[in-house]
Amino acid sequence: MGDQLRLMTVHAHPDDESSKGAATCARYVAEGAEVMVVTCTGGEAGSILNPAMDRPEVLADMVGVRREEMRRAAEILGVEHRWLGFVDSGLPEGDPKPPLPEGCFALEPLEVPTEALVRVMREFRPHVVVTYDENGGYPHPDHIRCHEVSMAAWEACGDPDRFPEAGEPWQPLKLYYSHGFSKARIIAFHEALIAAGLESPWAEWLENWKDDRPDPGTRVTTRVRCAEYFPVRDRALLAHATQIDPNGRWFSMPIEMQQQVWPTEEYELARSLVGEQDDTESLVDGDLFSGVRERVLTS
């Protein structure tokens, strides 16, 4: 038996790891892989989205509260966790949009967070990396920066001439983009709720889905079956109590219905060093370690 399989997921803020690919992580942990979540910022600029947590003592220590929430979520998922230590940029709103705050993650020179991520990559030595696409999943400046940093670290991690003080070079074998709510998934949830005689919170979302809006579902190459771990995902989500309202849209559909209607999480293979993927990538029953298992576990 060779090395142990290792998966790293790179996220912008605490709670992103629980809303994007959490059930996949929980599945691989249960199967014996090592999984590490890297969080680029502390989420300091996040609004309180759960009315029950909108309290003075929470607002007074948002940094500490969000760090504790992240600790609990990582424990629930069974993953290792690292903070990169950068400052949340916030989501600029208004017309015209205000400038980003000085010193925030999105304004850091690219080399600075890239070196920080390379250092963690060379320490953990992941075989597979998951991050966001060039749109960040949605256009938050930290999500877009997370993509840029992840791609730069992928290129630099195995190069001994890049960041020589950041540890021994290590080259991951595959990189995926995590894709969340495709239009097809929202339609499937909406129709299932209506058919069951339940109110659907997705109708307004579908009505506002413009024809020119990109649909991440069209880019998916790999669907990972992980319905068994949806309850773990939901517990991790609820650990982020300032961000997740237990009475909100996330929990509008019974979990048994979710497991039946859409039992997978979706990914796009963006980089691979294990050869052609036509025979190993699957839109039905995919595996992020396809092509990697054979190398790692028999080496």
Higher pLDDT, 1 or 263: 263
Q: What whole-number distance in Å separates Cα of residue 140 and Cα of residue 128?
A: 24
Report yes or no: 100 and 45 within 8 Å, Cβ to Cβ: no
298: CB partners within 8 A, 6+ apart: 2
Residue 210: pLDDT band with limits 50, 70, 90: confident
Q: What whole-number distance in Å separates Cα of residue 265 and Cα of residue 16?
A: 14
Looking at residue 299, its pLDDT comes to 59
16 marked ligand binding residue: yes
Q: What whole-number distance in Å separates Cα of residue 261 and Cα of residue 271?
A: 30
Looking at residue 45, its pLDDT comes to 86
Share of residues in the chain with pLDDT > 90 (%): 75
7: CB partners within 8 A, 6+ apart: 25, 28, 33, 34, 35, 36, 126, 127, 128, 129, 130, 288, 289
Nearest Cα neighbor of 202 from 261, 141, 137 is: 261
Residue 211: pLDDT band with limits 50, 70, 90: confident
208: CB partners within 8 A, 6+ apart: none
Domains (range + CATH), the chain: 6-181+216-248+264-296 (3.40.50.10320)
User: Could you identify the residue written with the tokens 């929202």?
Assistant: 186
Report yes or no: 132 and 93 within 8 Å, Cβ to Cβ: no
Q: What whole-number distance in Å separates Cα of residue 189 and Cα of residue 89?
A: 32
Q: What is the largest CA-CA distance in the chain?
A: 61
Q: Which string of b and e fits 98-116 if b means at least 16 CB within 10 Å?
A: eebeeebbbebeeeebbbb
Looking at residue 223, its pLDDT comes to 95
Q: What whole-number distance in Å separates Cα of residue 107 and Cα of residue 89?
A: 8
Residue 279 has pLDDT above 80, yes or no: no
Residue 1: pLDDT band with limits 50, 70, 90: very low
283: CB partners within 8 A, 6+ apart: 220, 221, 222, 223
- What pLDDT digit, counting tens, does each position of 33-78 carry? 999 999 999 998 878 888 889 888 888 788 999 999 999 999 999 9
pTM equals 0.94
Q: What whole-number distance in Å separates Cα of residue 100 and Cα of residue 90?
A: 8
159 marked ligand binding residue: no
Residue 285: pLDDT band with limits 50, 70, 90: confident
147 marked ligand binding residue: no
Burial class (CB in 10 A: 0-12, 13-18, 19+), 160: exposed
